[in-house]
Amino acid sequence: MEESCEKKLKRTAKRLGLKAEQIPRHIAIIMDGNGRWAQRRALPRVKGHREGAKTAEKIALRCVKFGIECLTLYSFSAENWKRPKAEVDFLMYLYSQYLVGIRPKLLRNNVKLIHLGRLAHLPSEVKTELVRTMKVTAGNTGMVFALALNYSGRGEIIDATKKIAQKYKKGTVRLKDIDEGCISRHLYTSGLREPDLLIRTANEKRISNFLLWQISYSEFYVTRTLWPDFARADLEKAILSYAKRARRFGDIK
């Protein structure tokens, strides 16, 4: 029988000397530093992206073992299309291969893959493998793995606003129905809890148009570690840092 996230989380908390409520249930990561990792080793940037993909898989599986309920990875932003065509083409090839390769591991570990972003603008081969992986993992009940691919925080809010406006026009949503809950239900992340912890690698201190609505009360953790070098120890440091925070959500208690 598959062990629940709650049981895994309690075991992780005990191992780290924490209480279960001190462990973040939803971790979001801005993965930065693939190019710099490669440049420091006099390697092509694409080598850094390949290593970064391996790290993404390792960290996702580590989060499963830790009992994390949801992991969101900022993989490719809508702004990343501005990069050199050769690099973008390689990334799209890498995504299609990654989505095929990780599928058996997601199934074996009861992980559900979801997509955050605009699906229509992705290349057909990436779209095909992404949809296929989401379909075969849709029934999984363990950790949710949210892949932000062709994602824009502002674009997400625009898309949500359009959906609400269409419902208002049809008369299925009234003006008084439009509140924070209504907007949240129309975002790509509908049904997910908001991130408790946002990690950014490579010592960058920007939000970069990521989950603008959802991270209003997330705790931030920035590390100098480049993404391909991010390992279990780095993840545990981030969790331990989070455990020391007093999350008051505007209150003084």
Three-state secondary structure string covering 211-231: CCCCCCCCEEEECCCCHHHCC
Given a contact cutoff of 8 angstroms between Cβ atoms, the answer to whether 144 and 5 are in contact is no
Within 8 A by CB and 6+ apart from 214, the residues are: 28, 187, 189, 194, 195
Residue 209 is among the residues annotated as catalytic for this protein: no
Strands in 197-200's sheet, in edge-to-edge order, are: 112-116, 144-151, 70-77, 26-30, 197-200, 219-222
Closest by Cα among 146, 154, 194, 202 to 31: 202
Residue 32 is among the residues annotated as catalytic for this protein: yes
Name the active-site residue from 80, 109, 110, 140: 80
What is the full DSSP assignment across 79-121?
A: GGGGS-HHHHHHHHHHHHHHHHHTHHHHHHTTPEEEEES-GGG
Buried b (16+ CB within 10 A) or exposed e, 68-86: bbbbbbbbbbbeeeeeeee
Which residues carry out catalysis?
32, 80
